Structure 1
Amino acid sequence: LFLLRDLGPLPKETLRHTLWAKGKRLVNMNTNQPLRPEDVAVGSLTFAMPDGLKETDEEFQTEIAKAALMIVRLQPDNIKDKRELEWSHEGVVAYSKICTHVGCPISLYEQQTHHVLCPCHQSTFDLSDGARVIFGPAGHALPQLRIGVDSEGYLQALGDFEEPVGPAFWERG
């Protein structure tokens, strides 16, 4: 036990929280522009990060590893999970881009089935059903970020993720 303690400081609560907070705008990772609901077309996959995070920031890699989002617009009638529908805005849903298996970034989207695939170990998640795992070694659904629209019409977070992002196996037990 003492040998493990000598490996460095314990993470405490740092792995439980991301940069997302109430009122933080969703910014398109490709254009660095804030997103409006109409910017997210039905069937497209958009990647987002919190407003204010810059690639030149020293902590960019650490923070983006926890805060990266996938944004998808689904037809509200296609959303099976009640909480997912309540946490979306006009069918626009926001989920962590970080796989719950070993933390690889998810990037493959099949628009007909609303499934996303992790390229590392093929864990597959159903974005129309609370991003639950439907195939592969991942043990948990992807965390959803509750979103809304601010007074200027931009998508914004309504708080942080309610569960840890990524594998977080030591925090779930």
Structure 2
Amino acid sequence: MKNKSHYNDASEYCHYFFDLVPTSDLLHELVVSRDESLAVFRKISPALENHAYMAGKWTVREVVRHIIDCERVYAYRAMRFSRFDATPLPGFDEDEYIRNVAGGSEPFSEMINEYIAVREATITLYQYMSDSMMDFRGTANEVVYTARSLGFMTVGHNLHHCRFLDTHYLNT
């Protein structure tokens, strides 16, 4: 049975993502989801990088960029809250972030390297957090979170999009 205490420290919107995380061992899940994501990313051929499964939907590259951007945002929020910073943080517009990314012309292999670097930084951030650091409540986008709930959100959000890539874009 997994511990679900972090469900109380985020909006109901997050619960779907939390439910995707198999265990309550956050560090383990950050590592496992990284490896699962890399397995999906490495199946993406150059011909699929700019493919959208439907008109008006993000391309494969845009989905991967979104995963990276969101992890950076969640990690920044977690860092602030783990330092007992109660300053309310703003939300962000994921669609604007995708529209405003600089060209999107970097090689896909560099996007994968960026994902790895961001995930390693996230793992390092969480590695030595005490329970009090993990459980300090802060506000982002007018929603109360903790570093712990943001960590599980990071994993679940990542798993959601990688599974979606696998089923809707890669058809595996």
TM-score higher than 0.5: no
* TM-score, normalization by structure 2: 0.24
More strand by share: 1
* TM-score, normalization by structure 1: 0.24
More helix by share: 2
